[in-house]
Structure 1
Amino acid sequence: MLWACVLLPQLALDGVMRRRADPDEPLVLLTGTAQRRVLQTVNPAAKALGLRAGQSLTAAQALVRDFATVEYEPSDVERWHRLLAAWAYRFSSQVSLKYPRVLMMEIESSLGLFGPWPVFEKRLRDELSALGFHHRIVVAPNPAAARMLTNVHDGLAVTTRESLHHALALMPIDRIGLSREVATAFSRMGLHTLQQVLALPRNTLARRFPAQVLLHLDTLLGERALALECYLPPDFFDTRIELNFDVESHQALLFPLKRLISDLAVFLAGRDSGVQRFSLHLEHVEGKDTVVPVGLLSAERGAAMLFELARGRLEQIQVPSPVRAVRLLARDLPSFVPAHRELFDERAQQALPWEQLRERLRARLGDEAVNGLRAHADHRPECAWQPGLESKSAGPLLTAPRPGWLLRQPVPLDESGVRILAGPERIESGWWDGGDVRRDYFLVETRSGQRAWAYQTVGEDGSLLLQGWFA
Structure 2
Amino acid sequence: MHWIALRWLFEADTHTTTPTPMTADAPTLPTPEALGWWALRYTPHVAWQDEALMLEVSACERLWGGRLQLMRQLLADNPAPDVRMQGAQGATSLIALARLRLFVRQEQRPKDMPAGLPLDTLSAARTHLDLLARLGCRTWGDVAALPRGGLTRRFGAELRAALDAAWGLRPESHAWLTLPDVFEQKLELPALAETGPELMWSANRLLSALQIWLRGRQRGARALELQWTLDLKRFNGVNLPPHQQVTVRTAEPTQDMAHLRRLLSEKLALTTLAAPVSWLRLRTLETDPWAGASTSFLPEDNRKGDKLHEMVERLSVRLGAQQVVVPSAQADHRPERKQAWQPALHKDPPPTDKPHKQTKQANKQAQAAASQPDVLYPPWLLPEPQLLEMDGERPCYRGPLSKLSGPQRVEAGWWGDKEEGGQPALRDYYVAESPEAGLVWIFRERHSARFSAGEVRWYLQGFYA
Q: TM-score range by the shorter chain?
A: 0.5 to 0.7
Task: Give the superposition deviation at 1:89.
Answer: 0.9
Identity %: 17
> Are residues 1:269 and 2:211 paired?
yes
Task: Give the superposition deviation at 1:433.
Answer: 5.6
Task: Give the superposition deviation at 1:262.
Answer: 0.9
Unaligned runs of 5+ in 1: 24-79, 157-164
- Mapped to 2, the partners of 1:400 and 1:221 lie a distance apart of 77
Flag the 1:441–1:189 CA change in 2: closer, same or farther, 3 A.
farther
Flag the 1:90–1:441 CA change in 2: closer, same or farther, 3 A.
farther
- Mapped to 2, the partners of 1:468 and 1:339 lie a distance apart of 46
Task: Give the superposition deviation at 1:333.
Answer: 3.4
> Are residues 1:397 and 2:344 paired?
no
- Describe the SS at the equivalent of 2:73: helix
Flag the 1:338–1:283 CA change in 2: closer, same or farther, 3 A.
farther
Residue of structure 1 equivalent to 2:320: 366
- Mapped to 1, the partners of 2:311 and 2:65 lie a distance apart of 32
Alignment of 1:56-455 (within 5 A): 83-92=31-40, 94=44, 96=46, 98-105=48-55, 116-125=69-78, 127-130=79-82, 132=83, 135-140=85-90, 142-153=92-103, 167-180=113-126, 193-194=139-140, 206-210=148-152, 215-222=161-168, 224-233=171-180, 235-241=183-189, 243=191, 254=197, 256-272=198-214, 274=221, 275-279=223-227, 286-287=235-236, 288=240, 291=244, 293-298=246-251, 302-316=256-270, 324-325=276-277, 327-335=279-287, 337=290, 342-343=295-296, 344=299, 346=301, 349=304, 351-386=305-340, 387-390=342-345, 393=348, 396-398=367-369, 400-402=372-374, 406-412=381-387, 416-420=401-405, 424=408, 426-429=410-413, 431=415, 434=418, 437-439=424-426, 442=429, 444=431, 446=433, 452=441
- Describe the SS at the equivalent of 2:328: strand
Flag the 1:103–1:441 CA change in 2: closer, same or farther, 3 A.
farther
Task: Give the superposition deviation at 1:442.
Answer: 4.7
- Mapped to 2, the partners of 1:334 and 1:16 lie a distance apart of 30
- Mapped to 1, the partners of 2:65 and 2:333 lie a distance apart of 53
Q: What TM-score do the two structures reach when normalised by structure 1?
A: 0.62
Task: Give the superposition deviation at 1:365.
Answer: 1.6
Task: Give the superposition deviation at 1:379.
Answer: 4.8
Flag the 1:401–1:451 CA change in 2: closer, same or farther, 3 A.
farther
- Mapped to 1, the partners of 2:444 and 2:231 lie a distance apart of 61
- Describe the SS at the equivalent of 2:382: strand
- Describe the SS at the equivalent of 1:312: helix
1:3–1:139 CA contact under 8 A, matched in 2: yes
Q: What TM-score do the two structures reach when normalised by structure 2?
A: 0.63
Deviations 1:254-280 (A, max 9, x none): 4x3331231121121122153434356
Flag the 1:334–1:205 CA change in 2: closer, same or farther, 3 A.
farther
- Mapped to 1, the partners of 2:456 and 2:61 lie a distance apart of 76
- Mapped to 1, the partners of 2:291 and 2:200 lie a distance apart of 22
Deviations 1:135-163 (A, max 9, x none): 5322446544433332223699xxxxxxx
- Describe the SS at the equivalent of 2:114: helix
- Mapped to 2, the partners of 1:2 and 1:279 lie a distance apart of 41
Deviations 1:305-357 (A, max 9, x none): 4444344344446678xx644654434432265885542464764x4322222
- Describe the SS at the equivalent of 1:152: helix
Deviations 1:78-136 (A, max 9, x none): xx9981321441341647554233323456759969994254233344x4352x5x553
- Mapped to 2, the partners of 1:114 and 1:437 lie a distance apart of 75
Flag the 1:146–1:353 CA change in 2: closer, same or farther, 3 A.
same
> Are residues 1:4 and 2:4 paired?
yes
Paired residues, what number? 390
- Mapped to 1, the partners of 2:38 and 2:440 lie a distance apart of 57
